[in-house]
Amino acid sequence: MKNLDELPGAVKRAVKTGLDAVGLLAPLSSVRVRYRQRVARRGTLRLYRLFIRPGDLCFDVGANVGDLSDIMLSLGARVVAIEPQAESISTLQARFHGIPDFMLVPKGLAAGVGTVEFLVSDWSDCSSMSRDFVAAVLQSGRLKLQECKWGEVRQVPTATLDDLIAEYGLPAFVKIDVEGFEDEVLKGCSHRLRALSFEFTPERLQPALACVELLEKLGPVEFNYTYRWQKRLRFPAWVSGPELKQTLTTTRSRVALAPTGDVYARFMA
């Protein structure tokens, strides 16, 4: 049988209705989710091995519940996790309690030190410090994201990447996934990093394109990218900033609901 996602819409709905009628939809969906999680973890491990070596210092910016922090730790890295959401902070404290190579910074990152408005979603990985991002998601038509609701606004403290570098040292790899606030995070960095990643979304590409320009100002840098569920670099060879921006912009204009993903950047010696 085909993967359920590959079936035509009407057929998929009929299959789901039939499975639900005999009590199989929920258990099969649970198995499918766990399988996807295992596949995603294996793919991320392979990908992160390109950037992380044992003993490296890594920053996980927008750590959420710590899945990528856990992968970094499994590769032998020391991890500084940055997360402003109180519910996720509690999860991270419990999950990594007693692990000496894990350090938690209960703040957001921004262009400067202070406080920032934080829009809290009932899906923790959709909470954001960008109202523009939330507005773009609500207008996107992407079915999964349409289920998100932002019912609370909080004020959260912020630091900068430069602050963390001054305190912990220069990281070998920085992952930035902050739902449309990525460029504001990089505005607080004046250092060339060995490698980093930042999320892009087709609903609002501007932050990712701005990140490329901010990194280019710091020095010679090259780029690659992945799609969310395909944990492999899509360019066979790393490319320049203009080439990456053209690819992302063209993909968005060609595909009505282009996939989200992550841009990877590395500075050249």
Distances (CA, A) of 6 to 13, 25, 31: 12, 17, 17
Is residue 32 scored above 80 in pLDDT?
no
Q: Show which of 33, 48, 63 is a domain's final residue.
A: 48
Same-domain pairing of 16 and 73 = no
The range of the structural domain enclosing residue 185 comes to: 51-267
Measure the CA–CA gap between 161 and 110, rounded to whole angstroms.
8
What is the predicted pLDDT for the residue at 142?
61
Q: Is 26 helix (H, G, I), strand (E, B) or coil?
A: helix
What is the predicted pLDDT for the residue at 36?
65
Same-domain pairing of 32 and 165 = no
Same-domain pairing of 205 and 263 = yes
- How many structural domains are present in the chain? 2
> In CATH, what number is assigned to the domain containing residue 92?
3.40.50.150
Same-domain pairing of 201 and 173 = yes
The band of 1, judged by pLDDT with boundaries at 50, 70 and 90, is: very low
Measure the CA–CA gap between 141 and 128, rounded to whole angstroms.
19
Same-domain pairing of 113 and 128 = yes
Measure the CA–CA gap between 23 and 180, rounded to whole angstroms.
39
* Amino acid in position 73: L
E-only strand ranges, the chain: 57-61, 78-82, 102-105, 108-109, 114-121, 150-159, 173-176, 195-200, 221-227, 261-267
Same-domain pairing of 42 and 133 = no
Same-domain pairing of 132 and 20 = no
Same-domain pairing of 75 and 33 = no
What is the tens place of the pLDDT at every residue in 96-120?
Answer: 999 999 999 999 999 999 999 999 9
Can you tell me which residue has the tokens 């990218």? 225
Q: What is the mean pLDDT of the chain?
A: 87
Same-domain pairing of 18 and 95 = no
Same-domain pairing of 139 and 248 = yes
Is residue 38 scored above 90 in pLDDT?
no
Same-domain pairing of 220 and 97 = yes
Same-domain pairing of 37 and 67 = no
